[in-house]
Structure 1
Amino acid sequence: MKFKAIHIFIVLTLVLASCQAKTKSKNQAVSTQESLKTDSMDIEIFKSLQQFITRASFDALSNDKLIVETGKLFLQTPYVGGTLENNEVERLVINLHQLDCTTYIENILALSKITNQSKLSINDFAKELEFIRYRNGKLKGYGSRLHYFTDWIFDNERKGLLIDITKKIGGEAYQKKINFMSSHINSYPKLVGNISLIETVTQCENEINKREHFYIPENKIQEIENQIEDGDLIAITTKIKGLDISHTGIAIHINDRLHLMHASSKAKKVVISEIPLAEMIQKNSLQSGIMVARLIRKQ
């Protein structure tokens, strides 16, 4: 599989170069439906992924291997934040050539799900991406997007996609008031001057604050890392006031230690961490621990 990941990276690099040469504007939109926004570069990347996944028989892989191998297909993809924020009206954005830590995970899960279902069309991918990204699986404006990752985990567990296993593997109570968006309105252009949307976000925060949350403190991650499986979703908790999660990624073990495959703002691309996750978090003064979610096994 290592050779395959390298091969698809070369294919995607060639696709990127070709599309950049051919596309007059990288922001040119090509919509398959009114609420979908993508461009010709991403359509070509999707086609390459589609062909490779089919040839490599990804549908025969177990869930954990499918998530990891799909995640590896995006190694070296540039990190770009805020790619979902560029539309006046909320649309389903498909951007496969620029990823942040959340869109990286969402694209992996959507690709893995349609691979399991043997439905590898761009429309199938769009449907799964919408299902994962938005509350109750439906895009109904900016307020329906799952902005807080604890809410993202809760909603996708309710949808039957995953299970939050943090408490089961030794998690402790994560008691924190979540209100970062409503207390930093000027950091979110869509909220500025929009009383109705602010009320929607505040209501969402109130719902989050009613729930029980658990986390593995940073000094206990190494003790339990053998209970975390390759392909599990990792959400890194933060010490930033009002915020629940500051970073996300995919669990991957290297030499019997837990590492993180993630879209890194520091490396400015998708990478596998050079050091174990426990050490990585302890080196960051703003990170406090992790939450862990596991994908539901395919039947």
Structure 2
Amino acid sequence: MMRILLTLLFLILPLTAREFLPQSVTFIGKSKFESITRKAIDGRWSQLPIGDRMAKIAMELEGIPYKAYTLEIHDKIESPSVNFQGLDCWTFFETVLGMARMLEKEKPSYTPSDLLAQIEHTRYRDGKCQGNYLDRLHYLIDWYRDNAKRRTITDITRKFPTSIAQNRCEEMTQLWKHYRYLKHNPDLRTGMAQHEKRLTAMKVEFIPKSKVKAIESQLRNGDIIGIVRHDNGSYCSHVGIIIRDSNKVARFMHASTTYKKVVVDKSISDYLQDFKKHAGIVIARPK
């Protein structure tokens, strides 16, 4: 009964973003946002299943330049943000999911605040940003667990043959100089280390890349694919979504450091085989 009530509240009550920084900082590329939303309204994308809606939105982002550290927007203050002029792998899938969720409620027009509210809901622990860097879900394993708990997604990894992963989350405290907030706020590193210790203690499973080809036919548009790698300090080193092409091939769409832009890549199984460091995948299905 409680789950039904929460679902009804989501459908009735609008999300409102807590915006701690001006939109001149947090929302880049408003014209692109307006172009996509106009197509979505005219095409009635809100009537599509959420995965197919995500595929429509994702294709509008194809070709946007890859830009690293797009989440690091300030020295001190954390705030929901979007950048349509440059995307990394995380902000690509997150923007696609956020827009798809935003379009769930039909409106004559949408504002940047509408999307920022959705970003806050998925990016931050328990869906709430209080302006603190540690409010954010920095590791994909944490993002999956938190968003599954709040029924934003379903982690379907265990529906398929899995292996136990060596789960190590330590990248951010080891490479803190690369992260703007951690560099300027040494006190945050202790809190980040505590989160990493908690995540490293989790038992996690993944689908080995040798078994991915056999399950590709069961993947859908919009499935969020975390790439698990060997010997890495973040467990999942990359993320993207599934796009089924006209031949029904489950292709991996992502913001690519290789191509320096958002691309629809090979089938997910072929993509995995191209990199020795890739161990397999985890799968989240949007709700």
Residue identity matched to 2:122? I
Aligned to 2:257: 265
Aligned to 1:62: 49
Aligned to 1:175: 166
Alpha-carbon separation, structure 2, partners of 1:238 and 1:147 = 17
Change in CA separation of 1:159 and 1:186 when aligned onto 2, cut-off 3 Å: same
Alpha-carbon separation, structure 1, partners of 2:221 and 2:191 = 36
Residue identity matched to 2:207? I
CA deviation profile, 1:95-114 (whole Å, cap 9, x unmatched)? 11211111011111111111
Q: 1:33 Cα shift?
A: 4.7
Q: 1:64 Cα shift?
A: 2.0
Residue identity matched to 1:108? V
Alpha-carbon separation, structure 2, partners of 1:161 and 1:53 = 21
The percentage of counterpart residues that share the same residue type is 28
TM-score (norm 2): 0.85
Q: 1:53 Cα shift?
A: 0.8
Alpha-carbon separation, structure 2, partners of 1:127 and 1:232 = 22
Alpha-carbon separation, structure 2, partners of 1:180 and 1:145 = 15
Alpha-carbon separation, structure 2, partners of 1:36 and 1:157 = 30
User: Gaps spanning 5+ residues in structure 2: where?
Assistant: 1-17
Residues 1:150 and 2:141 aligned together = yes
Say whether the 8 Å CA contact 1:36–1:93 is kept in structure 2.
no
1:1-299 pair list within 5 angstroms: 33-38=19-24, 42-88=29-75, 89-119=77-107, 120-140=110-130, 141-192=132-183, 194-254=185-245, 255-273=247-265, 275-296=266-287
Change in CA separation of 1:288 and 1:115 when aligned onto 2, cut-off 3 Å: same
Residue identity matched to 1:47? E
Change in CA separation of 1:41 and 1:257 when aligned onto 2, cut-off 3 Å: closer
CA deviation profile, 1:57-100 (whole Å, cap 9, x unmatched)? 10111122111111111111111111221311222222112111
Say whether the 8 Å CA contact 1:38–1:95 is kept in structure 2.
no
Q: 1:212 Cα shift?
A: 2.5
Change in CA separation of 1:230 and 1:41 when aligned onto 2, cut-off 3 Å: closer
Alpha-carbon separation, structure 1, partners of 2:112 and 2:161 = 40
Say whether the 8 Å CA contact 1:37–1:94 is kept in structure 2.
no
SS at match of 1:116: coil
Change in CA separation of 1:46 and 1:193 when aligned onto 2, cut-off 3 Å: closer
Aligned to 1:7: none
Residue identity matched to 2:62? L
Once the two structures are overlaid, the 10-residue window that deviates more, 189-198 or 86-95, is: 189-198
Alpha-carbon separation, structure 1, partners of 2:59 and 2:157 = 25
SS at match of 2:177: helix
Q: 1:250 Cα shift?
A: 0.9
Alpha-carbon separation, structure 1, partners of 2:129 and 2:236 = 22
Aligned to 2:8: none
Alpha-carbon separation, structure 1, partners of 2:197 and 2:56 = 37
Task: Figure out how many residues of one structure are paired with residues of the other and give that number.
Answer: 264
Residue identity matched to 1:271? V
Alpha-carbon separation, structure 2, partners of 1:193 and 1:94 = 22
Say whether the 8 Å CA contact 1:221–1:278 is kept in structure 2.
yes
Once the two structures are overlaid, the 10-residue window that deviates more, 33-42 or 178-187, is: 33-42
Q: 1:201 Cα shift?
A: 0.8
Alpha-carbon separation, structure 1, partners of 2:193 and 2:96 = 29
